[in-house]
Amino acid sequence: MFEEYLPRIMQCRLDDLVLETPVQEMPALSERLGVNITVKREDLQPVFSFKIRGAYAKLKTLTEPQRQRGIICASAGNHAQGVAMAASHLGIDAMVVMPAITPEIKVDAVEKLGAQVVIYGDDFDTACEKALELAGENGRIFIHPYDDPDVITGQATVALELFRQIHVPIDYLFVCVGGGGLAAGMALVSKYLHPGIKLIGVEAEESASMKAAFEAGGPVNLDRVGHFAEGVAVKRCGDLTYQICSQLLDEIITVDNDEICAAVQDVFEDTRAIAEPAGVLAIAGLKRFFLARPGCEGNAAAVLSGANVNFARLRHIAERAAVGEEQEALLGVTIPERPGSFLDFCETIGPRGITEFNYRFSDSPEAHIFVGIALRNGVPEKREIISDLRKRGFPVTDLSNNDMARLHIRHMVGGRAQVDHEQILRFHFPERTGALLQFLRGMKSDWNISLFHYRNYGSEYGRVLMGIQVPDEDADRFTAFLQETGYSFTIEENNPAYDMFLDPRS
């Protein structure tokens, strides 16, 4: 099965542009998990991502007449840089369509490599449609980021190098999955050379298109995808990649954003490399896999696939890593609004490190405190703290895994307001000029904004918490408006973080 790929992979030569990246052991993480862990450092490629392999492999197959026509691709980052560098190396005219949310640093990188950049749309899918349209208009060859046999062949060379470099049997191999090009390529090599290896694909929980395809029996379109790990934010996996992965991957697992952030920290502590969120998916999945199997031993390898991270994102990654590693507890605690109760609360917490502390006087009989507590012993210690607080008569709500609390409430100082007909929503706004203005202009003039919190996380999408006063008779019209905006949103109903700190009825 898939025999036609193997001769092509074995004969693929990319070393006049692509680096044979080193492998590196992860001693600290290995000790914690009880397995020997090695990572393949694809973040050290000239464009800081494995994507250069597939792009160059594809471009090398083009005939001279095809090269004269020029090429075009769509990407918000790594694929674009790979195509641009490969095209420059081969003297091919390149055009790259990038969505408006693409960080300027990535646009500049592509332009410096000599490609013409066209900014279009707010997401990859819209940019891709535009690229295909332009390809049809001017005859350029479209370079797909993952669903192409030659691209898959190029990505497969990662596995060829890995098995040549590691001199012990690999029992487990973890690989990130976006559209599936890298996973498909590595699966073809791994299962041919070492049929007994356990091959595990890892997806971001918010964009698990391959897992959805496995469950549906074929590729399907996700209703929406998260953009925290934007390098794998794919609504639909490839048809070719699904055919290969569904036959050769042993398992697909997903990881959440906090686990991704914790893996960024793990990589830094063992290698001093700063990886991008999508780049550490395989490491995050490896951790989840072995933490669920204490006592499991053997040799594990993972691909560190990219390091194109915006510096502004590191603050947010560091904050979320503490939660992902269970190094911080976020609690909502209710105390009596009377002298001495604040001291009782602090004495109960004891000499632990406080990472966050928000309190505001209330004229009600009770006050709510938002507190972050550094943990040395993870979940058991958090349970002990909650138990101690409750024994002292303080009601406690664990907000450690509450997105509203983690992303917004912890950064807001204020209190409750008497607001009628308030709906609380969380939005993902594209980080481009005019996005909020466009939203506000579409709103009915008598829908009042009663709460607003925005924080820049250095990502392509901004997180906004918004309260809007909508009379009951406007409910249907308001729902239609939300759907027409095209922005991803979540209606927060009965969220304990809102109930404790913002709801005037509490």
Cβ(345)–Cβ(335) below 8 Å: yes
295 Rama sector, left if φ>0, alpha if ψ -120 to 50, beta otherwise: left
Please state, in angstroms and rounded to a whole number, the distance separating the CA atoms of residues 264 and 273: 9
**DSSP per position, 252-299:** EEEE-HHHHHHHHHHHHHHH-----TGGGHHHHHHHHHHHTSTT--SE
242 Rama sector, left if φ>0, alpha if ψ -120 to 50, beta otherwise: alpha
- CA 242 to the chain's CA centroid: 21
Task: Give the residue numbers annotated as catalytic, written as ranges.
Answer: 51, 305
**DSSP per position, 41-77:** EGGGSTTSBTHHHHHHHHHHT--HHHHHH-EEEE-SS
Which is nearest to 1 in space by CA: 191, 161, 155? 191
- CA 442 to the chain's CA centroid: 30
Which is nearest to 100 in space by CA: 69, 79, 74? 74
What's the half-sphere exposure (Cβ side, CA atoms, 13 Å) at 17? Answer: 24
Which is nearest to 37 in space by CA: 304, 305, 307, 302? 302
Number of C-beta neighbours around residue 343 at 10 A:
9
Please state, in angstroms and rounded to a whole number, the distance separating the CA atoms of residues 304 and 479: 42
Which is nearest to 470 in space by CA: 484, 451, 486, 454? 451
